[in-house]
Amino acid sequence: MRGLAIAVVLLASTVARAEPGIDVALDLRGLPQIRALIGGIRPMPLDQFALRAEDGTTAKAIKVEPVAEPIAIALVYSGWEIWIGNDELDVMPPRSPGALRYLVAALDEAPFARAGGPGSQIVAIEYSQGTRVKVPLRDLDAFRGAELGKQADYRDKLQNDLADGVALAIGELAKAKAPRKAILVIGDGSDTNPETAPARLRELRRRAASERITMLEAIVLRSPMSSSSRVIDELVGGPPVQIAAAEGLRAAVARIAGRLADRRLAVTFDGSGLTIDPAHPRIDVSIGTETRSISLDLARDAPPPPPDDAWWTAPWRWAVVAGGLVALGGLLVVLLRIRASAMRAG
């Protein structure tokens, strides 16, 4: 049990990403109970979950319940005039109806408010020639698509600084306290610098993972003037959701919102028999027929744990307390006698 006591001090909360497809977050603050948040799985009975330490000691699940963890979403969208649309503006042809009106409707109709529990937030970031925070981080359930503005707000905006927009999104999400974080990119999938953007987006993908941004999604809608390059795949790690017309934004955004609303299971384990050795801080998490090995991140500057033989944990601790009380009582009697003698002498 000594290893477990050490873990209490060193590990206030450990969050670790398991292999792709399953998210596992371990919280040891309630030891000997250990709470795990597991995403990407279907509901399972108690006997399908278990923890196993390096020395073979195990912990069984004692409770499983669904939870809705808060989520912070960064909406990163193209602000290029042609992509947004300019058919409402007094501009020279060619005019394009663009995507803005459909994007506004899609954001209002999609079940984003149900994507997470209380405390969920969203930030909207526009990218064109440069980037800007269009809607600062705010409550998700209060967000409305109309906050993206009108076509006139994007007049004369050119280029697609996509990578810059993603970098800004990662920085903005760092301000959020939600345990789940996601980036949703909506645009034509290209970047102003197609030669350097792929490598930069791969690096941003790695940075997002280090910032615990576990979901990277993208919807690609090409405009008549979009370039042939598509670099967004480097960020999301595969083909994005691609639609042929702006009218398809409703269904695409709703599908992404459904993914973000993926509910996790909260599994509570009885860790009283589990030994966690700080020298080898790994735990195997058994989930049905699969096992995920989690490396715990122990704080380096934690104070040393109390020794197992501390007097307040010993069986004879009450004798020590009683002896102390007797000694204190004797001291009080002596002080009272000294005071009484002093008063008689005066």
Q: DSSP characters for 55-79?
A: TS-EEEEEEEEEE---EEEEEEEE-
Residue 103 burial (10 A CB sphere; 0-12, 13-18, 19+): buried
On the question of pLDDT at 297 being above 70, the answer is no
- The pLDDT score that the predictor gives to residue 30 is 82
Q: Which of 55-64, 302-311, 320-329 has the highest mean pLDDT?
A: 55-64
Sequence-separated (6 or more) residues with CB below 8 Å from residue 226: 83, 188, 189, 190
pLDDT grade for 346, boundaries at 50, 70 and 90: low
Q: What is the arithmetic mean of pLDDT over 45-60?
A: 91
Q: How confident is the model at residue 19 (pLDDT cuts 50, 70, 90)?
A: very low
Q: What are phi and psi of 268, to 5 degrees?
A: -105, 130
Task: Report the relative pairing of strands 215-221 and 290-295 from DSSP bridges.
Answer: unpaired
Beta carbons of 139 and 71 less than 8 angstroms apart: no
The span from the CA of 288 to the CA of 50, in Å, is 9
Residue 3 in this model has a pLDDT that exceeds 90: no
CA-to-CA distance for 79 and 59, rounded, in angstroms?
A: 52
Q: Count of alpha carbons within 13 Å of 247, Cβ hemisphere only?
A: 0
pLDDT of residue 93: 76
pLDDT digits (tens, 9 = 90+) for 119-170: 999 999 999 999 999 999 999 999 999 999 999 999 999 999 999 999 999 9
Q: Which of 31-35, 197-201, 296-300, 333-337 has the lowest mean pLDDT?
A: 296-300
pLDDT over threshold 80, residue 336: no
In this prediction, residue 67 carries a pLDDT of 80
305 pLDDT more than 60: no
Task: Please count the residues of the chain.
Answer: 346
Grade residue 282 by pLDDT with cuts at 50, 70 and 90: confident
The one-letter code for the residue type at 34 is I
- Radius of gyration of the chain measured on its C-alpha atoms: 29
3-state secondary structure of 236: helix
Higher pLDDT, residue 252 or 8: 252
**If we measure between CA atoms, which residue out of 135, 110, 109, 108 comes closest to residue 122?**
135
Q: Which two tokens stand for residue 192?
A: 């102003």
As a whole number, the mean pLDDT across the chain is: 84
CA distances from 298 to 4, 15, 211, 293, 329 (A): 13, 11, 17, 16, 46
What pLDDT is stored for residue 298 in this prediction?
A: 52
Beta carbons of 70 and 179 less than 8 angstroms apart: yes
Task: Check if the beta carbon of residue 283 is closer than 8 Å to that of residue 137.
Answer: no
Q: Among residues 201, 258, 242, which one has the least CA distance to residue 71? A: 258
What share of the chain in percent tops pLDDT 90?
Answer: 52
Q: Name the DSSP letter for residue 110.
A: S
**Residues 342, 345, 346: CA angle, nearest 5 degrees:** 90
- Amino acid at site 195: E
Q: What percent of the chain has pLDDT over 70?
A: 85
Residue 7, pLDDT > 60, answer no
| Sequence-separated (6 or more) residues with CB below 8 Å from residue 315 | none
Confidence (pLDDT) at 310: 56
What mean pLDDT comes out for the span 24-52?
A: 85
Please, which pLDDT band fits residue 32 given cuts at 50, 70 and 90? confident
Where helices occur in the chain by DSSP H, the ranges are: 2-10, 81-84, 100-109, 162-173, 197-210, 233-236, 249-260, 317-345
Q: Report pLDDT digits (tens) over 171-191.
A: 999 999 998 899 999 999 999
